[in-house]
Structure 1
Amino acid sequence: MAWFLLLCAGLAEIFFALSLKYNQSFTRLWPSLMTIVFGAASFYLLMLSIRTLPLGTAYAVWTGIGAVGVAVIGIVLFKESAEILRLCSIVLVVVGLVGLKLTHIE
């Protein structure tokens, strides 16, 4: 269950970061509310997951999910660079996340 909560926390982190793009320094109501809601949800779910997962593992996975998700969304939605070195770097982060999951013994 803790891993599922952590995955949800990471997904909320992606939406939190994405909403930052649209809230224009908290001058737009709905994107600003989304920023607050998703940010709070992300932290809350992370907090729940670290009740049973090691803090370092959970934090690394949480930030990794957010970083990879936002990087991929940036490439797809905002036409950010998709050069091979960038894509390989994203893959390396994913490999690290999988490694953290595989080495965790419950």
Structure 2
Amino acid sequence: MEWIILVVAGLFEMFAVMMMNQWHHTKTKESLLLMIASFAVSFICLAVALETLPMSLAYAIWTGIGAAGGGALIGIMIYNEPKNAKRIFFLSLIIIAVIGLKVLD
């Protein structure tokens, strides 16, 4: 169950980063409130997952999901950021590392 909660935390982190970008461009109250709420849910879920998972593992996976998913993949898919082979290769390494941490647990 803690793994599901950790993944949910990462997904909310991704959405919060997306809303941060949206707020940066539009400055609407809606995007600001969604960003704050998403970060809050993300942190709460991370805290719950930390009750049973080791901090080093949970934090690495949470930041990996947020960085690879929210920071990069969503940027590539939604905001037309560059998608060259080197960038895709290194994003793949982050994703493989997160999967590897789960497998080793």
Q: TM-score range by the shorter chain?
A: over 0.9
Q: How many residues align?
A: 104
Structure 1: which 5+ residue stretches go unaligned? none
State the TM-score, normalized to the length of structure 2.
0.95
Q: Matches of 1:64 and 1:24 in 2, distance apart?
A: 23
Q: Output the aligned Cα RMSD.
A: 1.4
Moved over 6 A (4+): none
Percent identity reads 36
Q: Which amino acid aligns with 1:100?
A: L
Contact 1:8 1:42 in 2 (8 A): yes
Partner of 1:91: 92
Structure 2: which 5+ residue stretches go unaligned? none
Within 5 Å, give how 1:46-61 maps onto structure 2: 46-61=46-61
CA offsets 1:28-85 (integer angstroms, 9 cap, x no match):
1100100110000000000000000000000000000011112111111111111000
State the TM-score, normalized to the length of structure 1.
0.94
SS in 2 for 1:23: helix
Q: Matches of 1:26 and 1:4 in 2, distance apart?
A: 32
Q: Matches of 2:25 and 2:86 in 1, distance apart?
A: 31
SS in 2 for 1:15: helix
